[in-house]
Chain A
Amino acid sequence: MNQWKNFTKGFLKDNPILVLILGTCPTLGTTTSGINGLSMGLATTFVLLGSNVFISLLKNFIPDKVRIPAFIVVIASFVTVVELVMKAYLPDLFNTLGLFIPLIVVNCIVLGRAEAFASKNNVFSSAVDGLGMGLGFAMALFLLGTIREILGAGSVLGHKFISGDGMLVFILAPGAFIALGYMIMLANQMKKKYIKD
Chain B
Amino acid sequence: MEYILIIISSVFVSNIVLAQFLGICPFIGVSNKVETSIGMTGAVTFVIVLATVITYMVYTFILIPLGIEFARTITFILIIAALVQLVEIILKKVSPTMYQALGIFLPLITTNCAVLGLAVLAVQKDMNLVQSTVFAFGNALGFGLALITFAGIREQLDLLNIPKPMRGAPIALIVAGMLALAFMGFSGIV
Residues of chain A at the chain B interface (Cβ within 8 Å): 21-22, 24-26, 28-29, 68-69, 72-73, 76-77, 79-80, 83-84, 99, 102-103, 105-108, 111, 169, 172-178, 180-182, 184-185, 188-189, 192
A111 — nearest CB in chain B belongs to which residue? Answer: B111
Q: Of A69, A173, A188, which contacts B18 at CB under 8 A?
A: A173
Residues of A within 8 A of B78 (CB): 69, 72-73, 76
Contacting pair A177 B177 (CB below 8 A): yes
Residues of A within 8 A of B180 (CB): 173-174, 177
Q: Is B171 an interface residue (CB 8 A)?
A: yes
Q: Please, how many angstroms separate the alpha-carbon atoms of A22 and B25 in the complex?
A: 7
Q: Of B115, B124, B176, B184, which contacts A172 at CB under 8 A?
A: B184
Return the 8 tightest CB-CB contacts between A and B, nearest first.
Answer: A177-B177, A181-B173, A178-B177, A29-B21, A181-B174, A76-B74, A185-B170, A174-B180
Least CB distance from A48 to B in Å reads 15
Residues of B within 8 A of A24 (CB): 21, 24-25, 28
Least CB distance from B68 to A in Å reads 11
Least CB distance from B24 to A in Å reads 4
Known: A177-B173, A177-B174, A178-B173. A72 touches B120 (CB 8 A): no
Q: Of A21, A25, A99, which contacts B23 at CB under 8 A?
A: A25
A185 — nearest CB in chain B belongs to which residue? Answer: B170
Q: Which of B21, B77, B117, B180 has the most C-beta atoms of chain A within 10 angstroms of its own C-beta?
A: B21
Q: Which of A28, A76, A107, A174 has the most C-beta atoms of chain B within 10 angstroms of its own C-beta?
A: A174
Contacting pair A184 B177 (CB below 8 A): no
Residues of A within 8 A of B19 (CB): 173
A79 — nearest CB in chain B belongs to which residue? Answer: B73
Least CB distance from A115 to B in Å reads 11
Residues of B within 8 A of A174 (CB): 177-178, 180-181, 184
Contacting pair B174 A106 (CB below 8 A): no
Contact residues of B between 143 and 173, Cβ < 8 Å to A? 165-166, 169-173
**Known pairs A25-B25, A26-B21. 6 more at Cβ < 8 A?**
A22-B25, A25-B21, A25-B113, A105-B116, A173-B184, A177-B176
Q: Of A25, A172, A182, which contacts B24 at CB under 8 A?
A: A25
Contacting pair B166 A185 (CB below 8 A): yes
Contacting pair A103 B116 (CB below 8 A): yes
Q: Of B74, B174, B178, which contacts A182 at CB under 8 A?
A: B174
Residues of A within 8 A of B22 (CB): 25, 29, 103
Least CB distance from B99 to A in Å reads 20
Q: Is B71 an interface residue (CB 8 A)?
A: yes
